[in-house]
Chain A
Amino acid sequence: MGARDRAAGGSEAGRDAPAGPGALSRLLGELADTPDRDVHRAWARSLAPGATVGRFEIVRELGQGGFGVVFEARDRELKRLVAFKAVRPGARTRAATESEEALLRREADAVAQLSHPNIVTLHDVGTCEDGPYLILELLRGETLAQRLQRGPLPVREAVRVALAVGEALVHAHGQGVLHRDLKPSNVFLTGDGRVKVLDFGLAHFFGAGGPAGSGTPGYMAPEQRRGGDEDARTDVFALGILLHEMLAGPRKAAGGAPPRRLEGPGAPAALGALVERMLDPDPAGRPRDAAAAVEALRRLQPSAPRRLLAVAAVGATLLLAVAAVAVLALRHATPGPIAGPAPGAPPATVEAYRHLFLGEQCAARPVWGQDCSVEFRRALELDPTLPAARLGLAVWLRWYGGTVAQQRAEIAEAMRHRDRATQGERLLIEAWAAHLDGREEDAIAAFRAIAARWPGDPRAFYELGDLLRHRDELEEAIPAFERAVALDPESAWAMADLAEALGALGRSADLRAWVKRWEALPGPAALHGVSLGRGWLGDVGGAAEAARRAVALGGTLTAQEDLLAALTFSGNYAEVVEASRPLAQRGSPVRRIGYYALAGMDAYQGRRRAGLAQLDALRREVPETATESVYLGIRADYVLGDGDAPAVWAEARALQSLDPRAAADLAPSLAWLGDLPHAAELARSLRAGSLQAETHAAVAAHRRGDPAALDRLRAVAERTPITTWRVAPLFLYGDLAARAGRDADAVRALERVEALYVPRTMWRTWAHARALLLLAGAYERLGDREKARGAAGRFLAEWTRADPADPLLAEGRAVARRVGLR
């Protein structure tokens, strides 16, 4: 019943009369009339003819496939027509775990591996505001489904098409790719008689897992319907149905149970037998793979000339029909640092996107010590103007070894090609540009805007949190990390940073709740959070246990690092040294980590010269570290332990030339050592009001004799006890308080410092021993000899193999004697 025919408010009868009581009813009906709309079309409307996406101009819609709307589009740069496939907007609502992006990436990854005359070629991948899209070869002809509407195919033609599809499957299976959704609408017959298999959207790598039952019901093998193990024989089954339909015509109930055998006259008995074998419900009864099916089909192939058959079958009228996909020349096949694509290799742009995806995946869930920049660099070798890869590389370099100049260069390059970026990428590029220009507030505002615009994307939240964390704004960073972890519960670094922020701020109840959540998650990834969380909650044994479990479950270097952290924290340095040696050896992908660990373990045990020699060796062995701000910063942190202000200043100057802001973070420590002029010089680059600026101001004022400065320092350090990379303000305060004779305050601060779960930071490798001695002295003066003995005893136990000339060793022995240990 239409609205116009209906009664208004259920009280008045509707009539087609201009006046009288029915007139109002009719009027109300007209006003209220809201006809249903086609949801898919509405969603796809922005990709209407005339719209442009990057350099592609949409010409017309060609059809809606299983996963996307396909348009004919004009590539305005290359002046040619292509097929533009937008990942179906309607799929958005189901995209919980199988997001559009994931679908696209899977399709791109799978198809990028394939190069075969019977498989449609994918040329480019991108993302526009309306979602991801694929650029495919544009083909003219019709799908097999359209062809079958006119009736079955002649036997010869059916065999020819099945053979071509089979050959495509042989190639794909050889690349480890299953189609999983083979059906007549995914087989394309071109006007010139070629056969192309379309839509590897559901393909996945053997053994890589995939959504069970995500094929098309009428064409799914029994094992696929059950969500059981799938292999090449799953596609052989679908090919059998395809062959059956080509010979017998489409089934009436296409979604129903698959046929078991070919019935009726016409087909040779041998062909019927082959179809029956291919349709065997038990995979073991089918041809063992696509190659075996192809071989059997070849034997059945009539001897008539193929070309003639093809032309006869397809017919001239089909030339009028147009549908997705045909070959585009390589767009980015320019020879770069690597040779041009090998014969049969996927196009460079697809390869570039593949490496970009790998880089993004790597960076989103980094394995401790893994260098994700390799993937971004590879993408850029293949496609130097890919802005997302420049962005990925710049972001990676920010925290992992690059100079500011390098990051700026990458971002500048990304800005130059930002017309190729998606809207989100463009905003990210601009946010990072602001960050690198020192416009921190703009950068944070931009990240917040990105997070608000894409609330389901953990990346912006993590990067916002990370930026805030590096500004030492832990309290502000926590919600961002929480959101990142909620969106991606296995995001290793978001977990680590969240645990650290909650732990450092003493928010134990919140941290405990997160640990509980991570404990409930399966697999090794979440054990990272469990280990770090327990460490921050003071349960070092539990931290080690979680890490050991993660290692046993096949956890990566991250799990090993967690274990080394727990062992370091409990003073098992020998075990850590043993595990770290192989990491430092030539050929190891994580030599820096190995050397830093070895240097740290030497320092923890009082062998400072040996530790410095390890850092020198790293610079010798991996020369690029000499220009890495991370290396120079870690080295400066190490040298600080000698208490030699000129040496620290020399390190600071080296760092300053590369990254003035990183060097500025040394200002509080240099002031702590008493070099106030140089500290002040460094501090000029500190952001006003930042933790480090306030720490520096208070330390410097204290060293100048300001009696109130120590209290100011305490207030600052208790609010935010740690700072990223550099010495913890709380340690500086504890040390100065002890030296000022404020023993009770010193004990409170240093006990908290000792509980900070940062065993692998370089400053702690020397500050720990110093804290133990300061604590021992303070306990002694406060009359707590038991605790004094405990602290001094731990110091001596850890320094049994210390450099005999180290002055701290003499001091430690003196304290030990005083408290009656020797």
Chain B
Amino acid sequence: MDVDGTVRSLLAGGDADGASTAAIEAHGPAILGYVCTLVGDDDGPDVFSMFAEDLWRGLPAFRWECTLRAWAYRLAYHAAARFRRDPYRRRAQRLPSSAASRLAASIAASGMSPGSRRDRLRRLRETLDAEDQTLLVLRVDKEMEWEEIAAVLGGEGAERAGRQVTSAGLRKRFERLKDRLAELARAQGLID
């Protein structure tokens, strides 16, 4: 049975905890990687905890209007947005114990020397907003169909904001994103 089927049957049997566990076991590692991309390795686990709690709370009421995977990414996307908006988080910047440890942490985090290809890639990635990053990750790395991505980036939040997220719209946006990235990458010498 696929994950969706397993989760549905656990839910049907009244085992909401088992269903959440199965959902998180199946999609958790990929989602954690995704949220780390959005908010960084330090805060990723916190966002992941928020996502997991949201999933646990929301799963019994999930209406299966999209795939479980799309819904999970939507929760994670919103958890990351919530996390970034949280003024407490913005205030509570990590306080390294010394300049040396800060430097060490930054080197460890980047693992690259300034000007290297990886460093330029990192800087390029940082120019993307969360929605573009999500679009890129889901389409390229997770190989999602446009409809599934629309389910992730659409939903109630987008509707409330008066935005319709459609496959066609996403396709256009992705083309524009590719053009922009290509231009930036050329400017940085990443591609010819």
Contacts and interface: CB of A to CB of B under 8 A. Distances in A.
Contacts of B191: 18-19, 23-24, 27
A35 B17 contact: no
Interface of B: 16-18, 20-21, 24, 28-30, 32-34, 36-37, 44-45, 48-49, 52-53, 55-56, 121, 124-125, 128, 136-137, 139-143, 174-175, 178, 181-182, 185, 190-192
Contacts of B17: 93-97
A350 B178 CA distance: 61
B56 A96 contact: yes
B49 A9 contact: no
A32 B143 contact: no
A24 B45 contact: no
Interface stretch (A39-47, A177-185, A704-712, A774-782): A39-47
Contact of B44 (A18, A24, A29, A42): A42
A569 B45 CA distance: 56
A308 interface: no
B143 A33 contact: no
A209 B55 CA distance: 29
A9 B137 CA distance: 10
Contact of B52 (A35, A36, A93): A93
A42 B48 contact: yes
Nearest to B171: A9
Interface residues of A, number: 33
Given A42-B48, A94-B21, A34 B141 contact: yes
Given A8-B140, A27-B181, A42-B32, 15 more contacts: A19-B192, A27-B121, A27-B185, A27-B190, A28-B181, A31-B124, A31-B125, A32-B139, A34-B36, A34-B37, A34-B141, A39-B29, A93-B24, A93-B56, A97-B17
A32 B52 contact: no
A529 B80 CA distance: 40
Most buried by B among A39, A46, A94: A39
A32 B56 contact: no
B36 A37 contact: yes
A10 interface: yes
Smallest CB-CB A-B distances: 10 pairs: A36-B29, A19-B192, A32-B140, A37-B32, A42-B45, A23-B191, A32-B141, A34-B33, A39-B28, A3-B141
A36 B32 contact: yes
A92 interface: yes
B33 A37 contact: yes
Contacts of B192: 18-20, 23
A30 interface: yes
20 contacts: A9-B174, A9-B178, A10-B139, A19-B191, A20-B192, A24-B178, A27-B181, A27-B185, A28-B136, A32-B141, A34-B141, A34-B142, A36-B33, A43-B49, A92-B52, A93-B20, A93-B52, A93-B53, A93-B56, A95-B17
Contacts of A35: 33
B140 A6 contact: yes
A44 to B, nearest CB: 9
Contacts of B181: 24, 27-28, 31
A775 B191 CA distance: 93
A43 B36 CA distance: 13
Most buried by B among A28, A30, A37, A45: A37
A578 interface: no
Nearest to A28: B140
A19 B191 CA distance: 6
A438 B132 CA distance: 52
Nearest to A41: B45
The secondary structure that dominates the A interface is helix
A38 interface: yes
Nearest to A3: B141
B28 A30 contact: no
Contacts of A23: 191-192
A31 B132 CA distance: 11
Contacts of A10: 139, 143
Interface in A64-111: 92-97
Nearest to B132: A31
Most buried by B among A6, A38, A43: A43
Contact of A6 (B16, B128, B141): B141
B56 to A, nearest CB: 5
A45 B18 CA distance: 25
B134 to A, nearest CB: 10
Most buried by B among A29, A34, A96: A34
A36 B34 CA distance: 8
A42 B18 CA distance: 21
Given A10-B143, A19-B191, A30 B20 contact: no
Interface in A195-215: none
B21 A93 contact: yes
Contacts of A46: 45
A33 B136 CA distance: 9
A39 B32 contact: yes
B121 A30 contact: yes
Nearest to A30: B121
A32 B134 CA distance: 9
A470 B76 CA distance: 41
A38 B45 CA distance: 10
A43 B141 contact: no
A96 B121 contact: no
A43 B45 contact: yes
Nearest to B37: A34
Most buried by B among A6, A33, A46, A95: A33
A309 to B, nearest CB: 43
Given A8-B178, A28-B178, A39-B48, A3 B140 contact: yes
Contacts of A20: 192
B182 A31 contact: no
A614 to B, nearest CB: 51
A67 to B, nearest CB: 14
A24 B49 CA distance: 34
A10 B148 CA distance: 15
Contacts of A97: 17
Contacts of A45: 45
A38 B141 contact: no
Most buried by B among A10, A31, A38, A39: A31
B18 to A, nearest CB: 8
B139 A9 contact: yes
A530 B190 CA distance: 71
B29 A31 contact: no
B89 to A, nearest CB: 13
Contacts of B37: 34
Contacts of A24: 178, 181-182, 185, 191
A19 B142 CA distance: 24
A32 B137 contact: yes
